[in-house]
Amino acid sequence: MSVLLQRDVGGDTAGRPGELWKAIKQHRWHYLFLTPMVVLALMFTVWPIVASWGISFFQWTGYGPLENFIGWQNFVEAANSAQFWDAFGHTFMFTAVAVVIEMPLALFFAALLNNLWLRGRNIYRVLIFIPVVTTTAVVGVVFQVLLSPSGGAVNEALQTVGIIDQPINFLGSEAVALPTVLAVNLWKNVGVTMIYFLAALQTVPGEVYDAAKVDGASRFQTMRMITLPMILPITLVILLLTVITSFNAFDLVQTMTAGGPNYSSDIIPTYIYRYAFNPEQFQPRYGFASAAALFFGVAVLILTVLIVLPGRLLQRRQSGEGRKR
Amino acid sequence: MTITNGDRVASRVPPPRSGPSSRKARRNRPRQFWYHLFLIPLCFLWIYPFLWMLAASFKAKEEIFLNGASLIPHAPNFENYVRAWNAADFGQYTLNTVIVVIFHVVLVVLVAALAGYGLGRGRMPGKKWVVGGLGATMFLPKGFTVLPIFLLVNALGLNNSLAGIILAESGGAHVVAVLLFMGYFAGIPNELEESALMDGAKHPRIFFQIMLPIAKPVIGTVSIFTFIGGWNAFLIPLVLTLVRPELRTLGVGIYSFSGEFGTDWTGLAAGAVITILPIIVVFLWLQRYFIEGLAGSVKG
């Protein structure tokens, strides 16, 4: 995925039109091989984006032709809706938790399980990773049962141990629902980030640690002064991947709370889903759902550019320095 | 920095060092103890939901409310599985999922391998744009364009059919798959292709008879990832089966089960086990390739 941070991917562009045509003809087979992917990408990636823009300017229930052009009204409505901004904020809560809690936790697990002398480290890795490959819908509905206030295993265990007197209504109370979903999402995703960090740690040669030991560095010092700076470039890639993943919480939120109670755990994808496919107000509102989706998409785009840009600048400066030397 | 293929990643993983590592293990015995003292309870709690699922799926319906957290069923029985498989249609959902996933994997591997060959072997005009476009696609959050995809599948007349689900899932950009194939094919020496061309072979034949068989490691990696992704897919099958419950896949099936029979916890647990057992087995069986593939995507 680090291809993104790479410049100059290749491909010759010929100078004159005649040469260009010759090059195209010469590579006709290669173009043919590309065709299925390009056609599918046009259908399922490019067209949906274009169509979203188109639909977002109409009031449309999905039936009949697109006629009721209303300009930017859907966008204005979304921008003025407190519920939309709540969902917007909750969506980025998932990103914040992923960056602030999930990444350090994953690094911690990776550092623990990267010790060659630790027996069974592979088993531990696999166990921590298992939630990642599990069907999210299953995780959602099973946690719904586990966290139930009436007879759910978690409340039962907490009461038996004596931590709480009254069962906690994890998914049914507005104050606790979102943190609970965030925690389950963290549990589900931290394994993959741990694998990324394990890969990163393995790029640090063992001699470096030996040298640090000889110099009398503590393990914490070694981590902070040596390991972290050495894995910084890969960490930027991991950050990007983690941020992108954090926007895919629809499956879990929809199956655990469907955005409830009273929209307290609503995120933009569940918000869109509700307006488009599961309308509370009689008819689906495709135009409004598209506008909300675009609003969100643009925000995500800005955020990812903000993450990618420093990485590329850093790389460019480094390669520039390299050339000077 | 590029995406590395399975082979190159494997070569970078240090070989098992049984000798020095066991010597080290002896030296670290006290530390070893503290690590396990922390890790064993942690991992038990970590996978408790799975153990609960398994236990609950064998419990009697009433038992779950009496002693819900316990992991040992009083009188283990298969009733929940029978009920989930027949009455709750998990048999049908499993069949649907298997059909969707098989076609999904074949389609993605084929399309990605073809594209990867085109991009990896040809240095044609426009290549930069295609690769750049692929990269940009990775930033798009999933689910954000599901509405137009739904409309497109409708317009193609494929709504409420497994074919629609397969197409919509496979049509989404499988960027990593394409880049993996691209990297692999780009690394194959030119002589192979040239001598085949000299012998009069055409590109399709070179692709299917020479290149594709060499690319087995990548096909394996891409298949595993696509299989797991397809099996766990939720939003697209959900949206495309809203009015045809008999076409649901397992993920959608378990979701609607919890909506319709919310209080049948043991049946739900059985459905959950049916849904995730195949994926867990495949993962445990092929985990090395899976984890190396993931690791390879950040290194390189």
For the stretch A37-90, pLDDT in tens is 999 999 998 899 898 888 889 888 877 777 788 888 889 988 899 999 999 999
Residue A325 has pLDDT above 60, yes or no: no
Q: Which of B117, B122, B242 sits opposite A27 (nearest CB)?
A: B122
Give the pLDDT score at A68: 83
Q: DSSP letter for B84, please.
A: I
Residue B34 has pLDDT above 70, yes or no: yes
Nearest CA in chain B to A254: B255
Find the distance separating the first CA and the last CA of chain B, reported in whole Å. 5
Provide the token pair at A268: 């933009």
Nearest to B55 by CA among B45, B67, B46: B67
Ramachandran class of B77: left when φ > 0, alpha when ψ lies in -120 to 50, beta otherwise:
beta
Higher pLDDT, B119 or B72: B119
Residues of A in contact with B179 (CB under 8 A): 1, 3
CB contact B265 to A (< 8 Å): yes
Nearest CA in chain A to B296: A199
Measured distance CA(B294)–CA(B300) in Å, rounded = 12
Residue A11 confidence class, pLDDT cut points 50, 70, 90: very low
Measured distance CA(A179)–CA(A250) in Å, rounded = 15
Give the pLDDT score at A141: 94
Name the 3-class secondary structure at B241.
coil
Residue A136 has pLDDT above 90, yes or no: yes
CA distance A75 to chain B (A): 15
For the stretch B169-188, pLDDT in tens is 998 878 889 988 998 998 88
Please give the average per-residue pLDDT across B86-108, as a whole number: 94
CA distance B257 to chain A (A): 9
Nearest CA in chain B to A49: B145
Residues of A in contact with B239 (CB under 8 A): 277
Say if the Cβ atoms of A296 and B141 lie within 8 Å. yes
**Cross-strand partners of A58:** A69
- Interface ipTM above 0.90: no
Residue A164 has pLDDT above 60, yes or no: yes
Residue A183 confidence class, pLDDT cut points 50, 70, 90: very high
Best mutation site among A25, A135, A237 for testing chain B: the one with the most B CBs within 10 Å?
A: A135
Q: Which of B232, B279, B298 sits opposite A199 (nearest CB)?
A: B298
Contact predicate B248/B93, CB 8 Å: yes
Nearest CA in chain B to A134: B276
Contact predicate B125/A25, CB 8 Å: no
Contact predicate B13/B292, CB 8 Å: yes
Best mutation site among A4, A21, A44 for testing chain B: the one with the most B CBs within 10 Å?
A: A44
Q: Which of A134, A187, A293 sits opposite B144 (nearest CB)?
A: A293
CA distance B144 to chain A (A): 6
Residue B7 has pLDDT above 80, yes or no: no
Residue A9 has pLDDT above 70, yes or no: no
Say if the Cβ atoms of B173 and A241 lie within 8 Å. no
Higher pLDDT, A244 or A94: A94
Q: Which of B12, B112, B128 sits opposite A11 (nearest CB)?
A: B128
Backbone angles phi, psi at B121, to 5 degrees: -100, -30
Higher pLDDT, A282 or B30: B30
Q: Could you give the count of Cα atoms lying within 13 Å of B102 in the half-sphere of its Cβ?
A: 6
Residue B299 confidence class, pLDDT cut points 50, 70, 90: low
Q: Which of B47, B172, B269 sits opposite A127 (nearest CB)?
A: B47
Alpha helix ranges (H) inside chain A: 17-26, 28-41, 47-56, 73-79, 82-97, 103-113, 121-133, 136-146, 153-161, 174-201, 206-214, 219-221, 228-246, 250-256, 268-277, 286-324
Measured distance CA(A59)–CA(B192) in Å, rounded = 58
Contact predicate B53/B273, CB 8 Å: yes
Find the distance separating the first CA and the last CA of chain A, reported in whole Å. 29
CA distance A140 to chain B (A): 8
